[in-house]
Amino acid sequence: MTSEALPKGYEPADVEARWIKYWQEDKTFTPDPDGPGEPYSIVIPPPNVTGALHMGHALNITIQDILCRYHRQRGRNVLWVPGTDHAGIATQNVVERSLAAKGVSREAIGREAFIEEVWKWRAEYGGKILNQIRRLGASVDWTRERFTFDEGLSRAVREVFVRLYEEGLIYRGDYIINWCPRCHTALADLEVEYAPHIGKLYHIRYPVEEMPGSFLTIATTRPETLLGDTAVAVHPEDERYKDFVGKHAILPLVGRRLPIIADAYVEREFGTGCLKVTPAHDMNDFELGRKHHLEVIAVQDEAGNINENAPEKYRGLDRAEARKVVIEDLKEQKLLDDIRDYEHNVGECYRCRTVIEPYVSKQWFVKTGPLAKAAREAVEHGRTAILPDQWTKTYYDWLDNIRDWCVSRQIWWGHRIPAWTCDACGELIVSREDPTACPKCGATTLTRDPDVLDTWFSSALWPFSTLGWPDETKELKTFYPTTVLSTAFDILFFWVARMMMMGLHFMKEVPFKEVYIHALVRDAEGRKMSKSLGNGIDPLAMMDQYGTDALRFTLAAFAAMGRDIKLSEERIEGYRHFVNKIWNAARFALMHIGEGAPDIPLEEAAKAGLCHAVILSRLERLKEKVAGAIEGYQFNDAAQELYGFFWREFCDWYLEMAKVDLGGEDAAKKGAAKRVLFTVLSEVLTLMHPFMPFVTQEIWSKLPGVADPNLARMSFPGARPGLVSETAEADMELLKAVVVGVRNIRAELNINPGVKLTALVHADNDSEVASLTANTAMIVFLAKLERFEAGLEIAAPKASASTAAGTCALYVPLSGAVDFDVEFLRLSKEEVKTVKELTVVEKKLGNEDFVSRAPAEVVAKEREKQEALGERLARLRELKDRIKKLMAE
C-alpha cells in the first residue's frame, strides 16, 4: 500500500456521507439486550419535531457520542436511543400558520381534520432535525427511533395518567394558572419566561365607606384588573393603616364594597403599602383570597377581553383598550393620584412571547409533593449525581418550592386526556380504554375532555417509555436505569426533575445514575447567541465549510465542565487544520508502512532508538489520560491531550526522527520503525475516534492488516505498562531542549537555515553527557549542525550565543555564521518600527474619551496590543545588547 490509498487532500463531504450510510446499514450501533458487556445507555434529549440543529444541540450530541463510542470501545453494551418530541404548542403553531397562509383556520376544518394536517406536516418535515443529528455522526440506534406521539409511548402516557388518577395524584379543579391569550392554553410556571418591561405604576384612590373623605391609595401596574378586585390588603403592623382594617373600601368605577384586610404578605415598602386583591387575575392574590375566603371574580375571557362580570361600558374591550378607558375614567373621577415610570419583569409565553394572564379555570393537576420528595432524596442519597455539583442546589431549591403541576393544555395537538363526563348524571370517568357507557348510570352519551396533556408529561416518561414500558421488554430490563443524561441547564426543571419523579414512581428506580449539565455555547465575546444580536453560528454551515470532525473537535476542546464555551468560526477553521494534519501524517505513515509492518514485539522495537521508546511511552500515558478525562466528563482535557500528542509529540518530533530509520539502509531499524509507526498511528486513531469519527474511520479503513475495517467496533487500545520509560522520556526532553535552543538562536539572530552551525553543551553530570553523546547523530540531523559535542568541561567560546537547555548550558559559536553589523542594523530598524506602533497605541489608550466611549472589547484588544508590543520591544533591545557584547569579543 502507498500514500495513494489516501487522496492528497481530505474532502469531508463524501467521506461523511459514505460512513454514515455504512454504519446504519451495518447496524453497528444496534445492541443486543442479551449481548455481552455491562449495559451503558443514554436517551437522547428529544428535540422538538419542529426544530433545527443549533450549536447547543451540536455540543450535546458531540458529548453523548464521545461517551457512547468510548464506552463501546471499553466493551460495554451500549444503547443510545434517538427520537423526537411532538412539541404540542410549537407544532400546532407551525401548522396553524401554514393553514393561515392558505386562508384556512383550524376551527374551520375541525379537530380531526386539523390533526390529520399535523400528521402530514410531521411526515414531510418532522425528520429534518434527526437527519441533521445523523449528519453529526451520532452513533444512535436508529432501529429504535421513538416519537412521543407514537403508539407505544402514547399507551405509556395513558397508563401513567390513569394510574396517577387512581392513586389520587392527579385531580381536576378550579385553580389559577398562567394563560396565553394568543395560544389559548394554560402554561406551566416553567413555560413562562420573564422579560424586563418599561411600564407604568398607577396610584389609584379607593374611597373608604366608613370614613367619608378618606381614601386608601393602591399602586398597580395593571389598572384594568381592578374591575375584578374583591379586597384591599395592608400589613398588620403598618401603623399608617391600622385604623382602616375591618372597614370597607368602595371599588372605583364599579361600586363594589371591598373588605380591608390585614396580611403579612403585603410589602409595606412597595408602592403605597396598600394592595388591591384580585384573586382571579394574580397568582399571589389567588392564594390570599383562599386564605381570607374572598370572592373570585374573573373579568377577562380566554382571549384577554373584558367579560360580562365587569360593568357594561368595558365589556368586549381587549386588555390594552380596557386599560386606556379605565385610566381616563379614573382621571375623570379624580381617583388617579399619580403615574410613574416603572421597570419590572413581565411574564411571557415561551412560545409566542405574548404577555400571559393569570386565569382561573378548570384544569388537571399532578400532586407533586410526594413525587418531589422522592426525587430530592434520590440525589441526596447519591443514587443520582448531578454534574457539575453547582446545579444540585438549584435542583433542590426548585423541588423544595414546587407547586402542583398543571398538565392540561387547551390545544388540539397532543395526548388527549383520557377523561369523559356522563351527560346524563355528570359522572367523571378516567379510563385506559375508551368507555362506551357510564359505569354509574349506564347512559351511553359521554363527552370527552377536550384538553390535551402538557408536552413535558410525555417526555417525563422518556427513559422508560422508549424502552417499551408498560411492557416488560428485554430493553427495559437490560438498559433501565439509563447510565447518564446529558442536557442543558435550562431544562433541569422542565424535564430532568420530572423524569426523576416519574421514573422513581413507576419504575421504583432512578431514571439515570448521572446527570451531566453541559455548558452554554456563546459567541467569541462571551455573549449568548441570539437572532436579535445576529451572532449565531450555524453548525450545518460550519460542517459544510470545515467538515463535521472539525466542528466536533472544536466543541469538545472547549467543553470544560462548568465553564461556557466561547466559539468563533476561526476556532473551527483552526481545528480543520488539525484534521488536515492528521490526514497528511497518515499519508506519510502509509507510504512507509507499505503492505504492512513486521510483527516485531514492541518491547524489542522500543530498543531500536530513543524516539521509538519515547513515543511508545507517551502513547501509554495518553491512553490513561484520555480514558480518565472522558470518564470524568472533562472532554476538553481529553481533546487537548490528543491534540498535543498528535501534533507535537507525533508529528513535530517522532515523524521527523523516524525518517532517519525509515529512509536508512539498516533493515532491522527500518522494521522496528515501521512497527512502532503502525502501532502509534492505529492506536491514536482509535483514541481520537470518539471525537472525530469520520477522518479516523477513513484512514483506518486504509490501514493494512487491521482485524476489522469498521473502526467503530474496535476496542480501546490495551495498556502496556512495561513500555512506560521515565528514563527515555527524560533523555528525550534533554535532546529536545538542545535542538530547540539551537533553533531559537537561529531565529533570533536571523541565521540562514542552510548555514551549518556547531553546538556545544556544558553538562552537569555523566549521565547527561552519555545521553547527549548517544544521540549526537539525531541532534545533528534535527538542528542542522556541522558538529555537536557535550562534556563536563566545555566552556563558552568567544563570540558565541548561549541559552539554557534543561539543566545544561548550550553554546553556539557565531563567528562566520552571523554578520554582526548587519544584524545590529536590522534589529535597530525593528526597534524603531515597534516604538512607533507602541506610541500610537499608548496615545489611544491615554485618550480618556476613547477609553470611556469605545466598546469594552475594543479597549481590551488595544491593551493586549500594548502589552505585546512592549514585550517585543524589550526582546529586541535585549538582542541588541547581546549583539553588542558579541561584537566586543
**Torsion-angle region of 368 (φ positive above 0: left; ψ -120 to 50: alpha; else: beta):** alpha
Which residues are within 8 A (CB) of 763 and not within 5 positions of it... i.e. 6 or more apart? Answer: 769, 772, 790, 791, 792, 794, 808
Question: 242: annotated binding-site residue?
Answer: no
Collapse the DSSP code of 560 into the 3-class scheme (helix H, G, I; strand E, B; otherwise coil) and give the result.
coil
Phi, psi (rounded to 5 degrees) for 807: -90, 0
Extract long-range pairs of 327-336: CB within 8 Å, 24+ residues apart.
327/202, 327/223, 329/253, 330/202, 330/204, 330/223, 330/252, 330/253, 333/252, 333/253, 334/205, 335/204, 335/205, 335/206, 335/252, 336/202, 336/203, 336/204, 336/205
Closest to 185 in 3D by CA, of 406, 488, 389: 406
Reading the block at residue 236, the C-alpha cell is 398588620
Query: Rounded to an integer, what distance in angstroms lies between the CA atom of residue 242 and that of residue 573?
Result: 70
Query: Rounded to an integer, what distance in angstroms lies between the CA atom of residue 576 and that of residue 566?
Result: 17
Place of cell 453497528: 28
Query: Between vectors from CA 414 to CA 410 and to CA 415, what angle results, nearest 5°?
Result: 105
Reading the block at residue 241, the C-alpha cell is 393603616
Place of cell 493494512: 704
Closest to 618 in 3D by CA, of 507, 515, 702, 736: 736
Contact at 8 Å (CB) between 169 and 370? yes
Q: What is the DSSP string of 765-807?
A: SHHHHHHHHHTHHHHHHHHTEEEEEEESS--PPTTEEEEEETT
| Half-sphere exposure for 316 (CA within 13 Å, toward CB) | 2
* Residue 209 DSSP class: T
Reading the block at residue 66, the C-alpha cell is 464521545
* Residue 104 DSSP class: -
Query: Rounded to an integer, what distance in angstroms lies between the CA atom of residue 356 and that of residue 370?
Result: 29
Cβ-based burial of 452 (10 A; exposed 0-12, middle 13-18, buried ≥19): buried
**Binding annotation for ATP:** 531
**Binding annotation:** 531
